[in-house]
Structure 1
Amino acid sequence: MYTSTKLPRTSALFLSALLGGVIFTSCASSERSINRQIAADGAANPASAPASESSISQKAEAAPITRSRPQLIKKAAISLTVNSVDQTIDAVSQIINKQQGDLIGLKQQQPKNDNPRYTATIQLRIPENLLESTLEQLAKLGTVESRNITAEDVGDRLVDFQARLTNLQKTEANLQKIMDRAGSIRDVLSVSQELSNVRETIEQIDAQLKNLKNQVAYSTITLNLEAAVSSTSPQPAFGLQVQETWKKSTHSLSAFSIGLLKLGIWLIVYSPYLLIFVALIYGFSRWRRTHSPRLTQTPESTTSE
C-alpha cells in the first residue's frame, strides 16, 4: 500500500529534477564559457579593456541603423475595356508565361439581355518583383478604366511566428533528452504525450509561416475585361424561327386550355355557394317588387281611358 501511493510523487519529482538539471546545466555552461572568454581577453591585453569598451560604444553610435526590408503582401486590380475579350485572354496567357506567373482563376460571362457586353474576370499570381512590369504590359492590352494596388505589412507576424517556432524546437529537443533519460513507463508516456503536442504546434506554426512567406513572394492581380462594343448574336435561320414560333404558340394554347379547365373546376366546386347567392338575389328582387307602393292614377289618365 505504501509503495503504490509513493510512485506518482516519485515520478513527478524525477521529471522536475531532470528538467531543472537540463536548464541549470545549460545556463551554467554558457556562463562559464563567457567568463573564460572575458578572462582570456583581459589577460592577453589588460590595458586595452577600457579602451575596447569605449571603442565599441563609439562604433555603435557611428554605425547607421539598418532597417529590414518590409514584408508586404501586395494585391492589385485593373479593369480594361478591350475590342475582343477572347483575343485579350490569349494575350494575357502569353504575358503570364513570360512573367513566370500562374493563372489561378477565370470567369467569362456571355452577353445577356440585361448586360449585352462580353465580360471576363481573370485571377493572376505573379512574382512580387515583377508586379509593376506585369501591370504595365496588361495596361497595353486595352483602355484602362481603373487601377489600384494594396499592400499589407506582415513583418511583425513573420517575426512572431519565427520566434515561436524556434522556442518550440528548443522545447522539443529538451523533451527528447528527458524522454531518453526517463526510466519508468509512466514517465515515458507522459513525456511522449507532451512531445507529441509540441510537434503538432510546430507543424501548425510552420505551415502558417510558409503561407505568409508565399503570399509575400507572389502578388495577386485581378484583371477585369469588358468588350468595347456590345456583341450581337447572329440571326437564326428561317426554319428555326418557324419552329420557335410553333413552340411558343402551342405552349400558349395549352396554357390557355389549362386555364379554362382550372376555371371550370373552380366553378363546379363553388357552384352551391353560387346557387345560394343567385337565389338570395332573386328572392330579394321579388320581395322588393311585391312590397313596393303602387303608383296612384291621375285624373287625366282616367279620362283618357
Structure 2
Amino acid sequence: MYASSKLPRTSGLFISALLGGVIFTSCASSHQSANKALPPMAADSAGNPASAPTRENSISQKAQASPIARSRPQLIKKAAMSLTVNSVDQTVDAVSQIINQQQGDLIGLKQQQPNNDNPRYTATIQLRIPENLLESTLEQLAKLGTVESRNITAEDVGDRLVDFQARLTNLQKTEANLQKIMARAGSVRDVLSVAQELSNVRETIEQINAQLKSLQNQVVYSTITLNLEAAVSSTSSQPAFGLQVQETWNNSTHSLRAFSVGLLKLGIWLIVYSPYLLIFAALVYGFRRWRRTHSPRLTQAPESTSSE
C-alpha cells in the first residue's frame, strides 16, 4: 500500500518539475535573446571592461559606419472615390473590366434607382485590388467620369504583425513542450491535465493564426469604395409620361385592394359581434317604447280634454 500511494505523488512531482523546466527554458531563451540584442562591452589592454562613454562611442561609430536597414512598412490602404458619370450602367460594366484587368475582386455592388428623395441614379461599388496596383487602378477609375472627391487612408500594422508572429512562435514552442510532457506522463490524471492544457494552447494558436492571415491579406490587397452618381439634366427632374401612368395605375390598384380588404375585415368584425349588436338594438328599442308609453305629455292629454 505504501508503494501505490507514493506513485501518484511521484508522478505529480515529475509533471511539476517538467512544467517548471519549460517555464525556466522559455525565460532563459528570452533572456539570451535580450542579451544578444546588446553588443558586448569592449575591454581595455588590462582586460578590464571599458567605461560607459567608450562603449557609447563605439556604438555610435558602428551606427555611422553601417546604416540600419529599415523594414518595409506594413500598411493597410483604403481608398474612396466619388464620380459623376453620364450612364451608371455603362460605368459599372467598365469598372468590372478594370477589376478583371487588375486581377482584383468585386466585394459588393449596390444600385439605387431614382425616387422622390433622390432623383439621380446612384451606385456603390466595393472592390479589392493588389496593393501595388492601387494607384494605377484609381487613375483608370478617374477617367470614367468627373471626380468629385478622392481620398486614401493607410494604417501601419507592422507592430501588430510582429506581435502576432512572436506570440505564435512562443505558443508553438509551448505546444511542442507539452507534447513531450504528455509522452512522459505516467498516470491518467496527469495525461488528461496536460491534454487539456495542450487543447487550450492549440485553440489560441488557431485564433492568432487566423488574425495574422487576415492582417496579411489586408496588407496585400487594398480596398476601394467607388460611388457613382448619374448627371442630371434640366429636363430630367420629372419622370417620363409612361412611368407616371404606370406609377398612378400601381397606386390606384394598391388603394383599391387595401379598401376591399378593409371592407372585408369590417364585415368579419360585424358578423362576430352581431349577437351583441342585436342585444343592444333590442335594448334601445325597448327603452324607446317604454318612454313613449310613460311620457308625461301622453298622460296629461286626456285630463285636458275632460276639463273642457
Using the size of structure 1 for normalisation, the TM-score is 0.68
Partner of 1:92: 95
Bigger Rg over Cα: 1
Deviation at 1:54, TM superposition (A): 10
Deviations 1:132-176 (A, max 9, x none): 221111111111122222222212211111111111111112222
Partner of 2:195: 192
Partner of 2:17: 17
Matched, 1:147 2:154: no
**Greater CA drift, 207-216 or 191-200:** 191-200
Deviations 1:256-298 (A, max 9, x none): 9889989x99xx9999999x99xxxxxxxxxxxxxxxxxxxxx
SS at match of 1:95: helix
Matched, 1:205 2:208: yes
Partner of 2:6: 6
1:10 corresponds to which letter in structure 2? T
2:12 corresponds to which letter in structure 1? A
Using the alignment, how far apart are the partners of 1:260 and 1:174 within structure 2? 78
Partner of 1:61: 63
Using the alignment, how far apart are the partners of 1:236 and 1:81 within structure 2? 24
Partner of 1:224: 227
Partner of 1:107: 110
Using the alignment, how far apart are the partners of 1:110 and 1:153 within structure 2? 38
Percent identity for Structure 1 against Structure 2: 68
Given the superposition, is the C-alpha separation of residues 218 and 241 from structure 1 closer, same or farther in structure 2, using an over 3 Å criterion?
Answer: closer
Deviation at 1:11, TM superposition (A): 1.8
Partner of 2:218: 215
Matched, 1:120 2:123: yes
- 2:15–2:185 contact (8 Å) kept in structure 1: no
Deviation at 1:112, TM superposition (A): 2.1
SS at match of 1:184: coil
Gaps of 5+ in 2: 41-46, 285-308
1:168 corresponds to which letter in structure 2? L
**Greater CA drift, 226-235 or 133-142:** 226-235
1:66 corresponds to which letter in structure 2? A
**Greater CA drift, 205-214 or 243-252:** 243-252
SS at match of 1:235: helix
2:111 corresponds to which letter in structure 1? Q
Using the alignment, how far apart are the partners of 1:59 and 1:215 within structure 2? 40
Q: CA RMSD in A?
A: 4.8
Deviation at 1:82, TM superposition (A): 0.6
SS at match of 2:242: coil
Partner of 2:242: 235
Gaps of 5+ in 1: 39-46, 278-305
Partner of 1:285: none
Matches within 5 A, 1:167-182: 167-180=170-183, 182=184
- 2:80–2:226 contact (8 Å) kept in structure 1: yes
Partner of 2:139: 136
Given the superposition, is the C-alpha separation of residues 244 and 134 from structure 1 closer, same or farther in structure 2, using an over 3 Å criterion?
Answer: closer
Deviation at 1:249, TM superposition (A): 9.2
Using the alignment, how far apart are the partners of 1:183 and 1:154 within structure 2? 42
Aligned length: 281
Using the alignment, how far apart are the partners of 2:195 and 2:202 within structure 1? 10
Partner of 1:79: 82
Using the alignment, how far apart are the partners of 1:18 and 1:252 within structure 2? 79
Deviation at 1:98, TM superposition (A): 1.2
Using the alignment, how far apart are the partners of 2:194 and 2:241 within structure 1? 75
Deviations 1:158-197 (A, max 9, x none): 11111111111111122222223x1414233332222222
2:176 corresponds to which letter in structure 1? A
SS at match of 2:117: coil
Given the superposition, is the C-alpha separation of residues 21 and 123 from structure 1 closer, same or farther in structure 2, using an over 3 Å criterion?
Answer: closer
Using the alignment, how far apart are the partners of 1:25 and 1:251 within structure 2? 77
